[in-house]
Amino acid sequence: QVQLQESGPGLVKPSQTLSLTCTVSGGSISSGGYYWSWIRQHPGKGLEWIGYIYYSGSTYYNPSLKSRVTISVDTSKNQFSLKLSSVTAADTAVYYCARSPHDYGDYLFDYWGQGTLVTVSS
């Protein structure tokens, strides 16, 4: 059973960089066949895909966030990470990591982490 777990600071100051890591267990990122995504949910709102990475390091970002987003992968640790720069209060959200099976659709999310709330405030 694949499990994903987000970790990182719960509070970030405006204009700084939000950094989160997702640790995958029960399966290897480097085995291929899956995209590894970050998704966020603003308080009481809907879901927004941020971007994904393949084990090879190939990335694809939501155009609305592309200028501020970097996703990276560390296959030796079975982790992938999110950096979102120049954050504002509008970036306050629950951030999820999730997996997409490549053969079923790049954006079909079959396993999710439990989510972590990141608040942007001074």
Q: Which stretch binds other proteins (CB under 8 A): 11-19, 22-30, 74-82, 109-117?
A: 109-117
Determine the Cα–Cα distance for residues 91 and 77; give it in Å rounded to an integer.
Answer: 27
Contacting residue, 63, 73, 120, 122, with other proteins by CB under 8 A: 63
Choose which of 49, 53, 82, 93 interacts with other proteins (CB under 8 A): 49
CA distance linking residue 111 with residue 73, whole number of Å = 18
Beta-carbon-side half-sphere exposure of residue 101 (alpha carbons within 13 Å): 6
Interface with other proteins (CB under 8 A), residue from 2, 11, 89, 108: 108
95 DSSP β-pair partners:
40, 116
Q: Is 119 in the site for other proteins (CB under 8 A)?
A: no
Q: Determine which residue in the list 18, 84, 96, 118 makes contact with other proteins, applying CB under 8 A.
A: 96
The residue count for binding other proteins (CB under 8 A) is: 20
22, 28 Cβ separation under 8 angstroms:
no
Q: Which residues pair with 70 in a beta bridge?
A: 83
Which stretches of the chain bind other proteins, using CB under 8 A? 46-49, 60, 62-63, 96, 98, 104-110, 112-115
